[in-house]
Structure 1
């Protein structure tokens, strides 16, 4: 029995993530909003949150850095570490680092060095210098995401990163976008003016002499999530209009904890929240982590993270090539011709599912064009019958 649309997944190619068809169809309608974390900028030479903290201590406190540099990634709070050469305040920072409270660690470091966590502190100057010292060229994943960010005439994407690599990627695609940060971000809507790269945690100012307001420390998160409510109010509105898709985060990233808290409570109170998704990579099957994401109200889209997360890039790149909004028509047509070379009965199930999806997402005129294409390719009757069944599905959907 064919799975219901709620359970159907589509493989866009061998070794790629299997994406829920309901997400692909929502994207075809312009109802998907990507939210990007530090993981997308690591291929461009920029650090994740943990690495950024280690880099700050290398620049500002070599004594603590010597301890942190010896800690393997993923240590837990039972990890024993020698802090005998450190002060009590430094030791407290190391303990917080071990449990992954990186935003708290930076706030503690700022308060110890500058007696403040805002303004032009040493930590913020060094954070800006570190991020500006990274590569200035976007990675391929930035370009794939900017193609997928097209909602049908405008590109809209959200990021918690401070760098401007998404903007550079859009320029390279000959489709420049505006940069918005914190209070200047437009309110979510389906209108064309809701567009650009939206830096909900702030962005580095292009003018090197100007201070960049960044959500960096625990007090910053309290300010913008609790006191001013800039970020949660934005997320609440966006989650009612769009399916949010998280890319470049791990489950324990500090920004992820705050983002999830911003929508999790509303999930039980409002029935108009759209489904949220995350691309989640592991190098071995990990059903417990998948269930952890689901328990947080997020649908995980799993991929194999071996090979430096290449499967994620290839999945997003392939999705952008086959996009219903701005995909490459020649690629889509070639894919259909390839699939129908075999009879439907003999074709692999992923090919049959992809074929059906390309018709299911199409409007009437596009279905006619694609049907003519496969007919000219001398497709067997099984493929043509499938088109009729899909058209019937859509007709029933309109009547129900």
Structure 2
């Protein structure tokens, strides 16, 4: 039986891990992948997602509404019966919006009610900064894995809609620290090494709580930076032409995700030079409808089992970073090849055969020679060596291996 086309191949980097399209792994090996990170990556560090942040803000600014919001289960819709008899009409409207998941709108409504403004040093923005800066938050393992994967070869570049600085902290052990850019200071996307750093497209928190941080937080902020000034859509469009965007730490209905998807989809319908976009999407049980929903939005989903607090996602990203063609651990890659060829190719698991082929397919000529020598010295059977010859003879088919 013939091997699947490169467009259809998926590589599992380990048992129970997400199956990643090989075309994405090859693009990453060429330095053509840009990760965009959401609130989900900072939850292991003790920071809230958007929904939890809204609840925390109400706990400090409006205890009456907070009592209602805190009693709502996650994932409720506007059909849920809730007692708002003790609230004003404006408060009730905020609860209804919260139930729809329009958290940016909720914060905008709260700002307008309390401060009659949605920008500047409002009570809402002070509370957001206070909540995110409270306590000592250290980078989680997923931050470190993503910063390794952000290496494009000569530059480390990663995009986030988070306000926290945990990605920067995760990179401090590197020899060269990364720069931080936010909103208007973000460099224009390019393949040059000066397009680097942690890029906060929704703004970054100032470490000094007395200093004002410009954040894309409320509905009016999203309107300002996505529609009026088009700062974020223009950046995303340029990036999507140069890189495969990979979303991590989002759900399909997160407010930042809705705006990001709309920005990409709008340009994708007019231009055909946008590269394929991907998202890591976790569910506790198979959900083919949710996967199709991502596809309908122009995003290729990479599914993983979200049980165990998304451990499979973390392990997948860590494993990918260990085996990275750009800065992976050479000893780990060599060890994997020696392990795989202990069995004959005919009896080895399909996942091991796929991984073996991928490690050779992504390599340049000198690396293939080195790995071939390693496999030969490990006394691999002739079928493994034949596979190397076939991979070396593959036609590019429009893509560099």
1:28 correspondence with 2:29: yes
Residue 289 of structure 1: aligned partner = 290
Structure 2: which 5+ runs fail to align?
none
Q: Aligned to 1:74, what secondary structure does the other structure show?
A: coil
Query: What CA distance in whole angstroms lies between the structure 1 residues aligned with 2:59 and 2:271?
Result: 46
Q: Aligned to 1:239, what secondary structure does the other structure show?
A: helix
TM superposition shift of 1:139: 0.2
TM-score, normalized by length of structure 1? 0.98
TM-score, normalized by length of structure 2? 0.98
Residue 133 of structure 2: aligned partner = 132
Q: Check whether the contact 2:133–2:207 (CA below 8 A) recurs between aligned residues.
A: no
Residue 301 of structure 1: aligned partner = 302
1:171 correspondence with 2:168: no
Residue 93 of structure 1: aligned partner = 94
Residue 238 of structure 2: aligned partner = 237
TM superposition shift of 1:394: 4.3
TM superposition shift of 1:135: 3.7
TM superposition shift of 1:174: 3.8
Query: What CA distance in whole angstroms lies between the structure 2 residues aligned with 1:355 and 1:288?
Result: 33
Residue 321 of structure 1: aligned partner = 322
Query: What CA distance in whole angstroms lies between the structure 2 residues aligned with 1:326 and 1:131?
Result: 32
Alignment of 1:303-382 (within 5 A): 303-382=304-383
Aligned residues between the structures? 399
Q: Deviations over 1:200-251 (max 9, x none)?
A: 0000012332100000000000000011110000001000000000000000
Query: What CA distance in whole angstroms lies between the structure 2 residues aligned with 1:134 and 1:156?
Result: 27
RMSD of Structure 2 on Structure 1 (CA): 1.1
Query: What CA distance in whole angstroms lies between the structure 2 residues aligned with 1:170 and 1:93?
Result: 39
Query: What CA distance in whole angstroms lies between the structure 2 residues aligned with 1:397 and 1:384?
Result: 25
Residue 109 of structure 2: aligned partner = 108
Q: Check whether the contact 1:44–1:135 (CA below 8 A) recurs between aligned residues.
A: no
Alpha-carbon spacing, 1:87–1:330, altered in 2? closer, same or farther (3 Å): same
Q: Deviations over 1:254-275 (max 9, x none)?
A: 0000000001022222111000
1:216 correspondence with 2:186: no
Residue 61 of structure 1: aligned partner = 62
Residue 40 of structure 1: aligned partner = 41
TM superposition shift of 1:293: 0.2
Residue 4 of structure 1: aligned partner = 5
Query: What CA distance in whole angstroms lies between the structure 1 residues aligned with 2:35 and 2:105?
Result: 26
Alignment of 1:197-276 (within 5 A): 197-276=198-277
Query: What CA distance in whole angstroms lies between the structure 2 residues aligned with 1:382 and 1:126?
Result: 63
Q: Check whether the contact 1:202–1:215 (CA below 8 A) recurs between aligned residues.
A: yes
Query: What CA distance in whole angstroms lies between the structure 2 residues aligned with 1:240 and 1:134?
Result: 39
Which piece of structure 1 moves more, 304-313 or 203-212?
203-212
Query: What CA distance in whole angstroms lies between the structure 2 residues aligned with 1:361 and 1:306?
Result: 31
Query: What CA distance in whole angstroms lies between the structure 2 residues aligned with 1:247 and 1:199?
Result: 15
Q: Aligned to 1:263, what secondary structure does the other structure show?
A: helix
Structure 1: which 5+ runs fail to align?
none
Alpha-carbon spacing, 1:305–1:396, altered in 2? closer, same or farther (3 Å): closer
Q: Deviations over 1:129-168 (max 9, x none)?
A: 0000144210000000000000001100000000000000
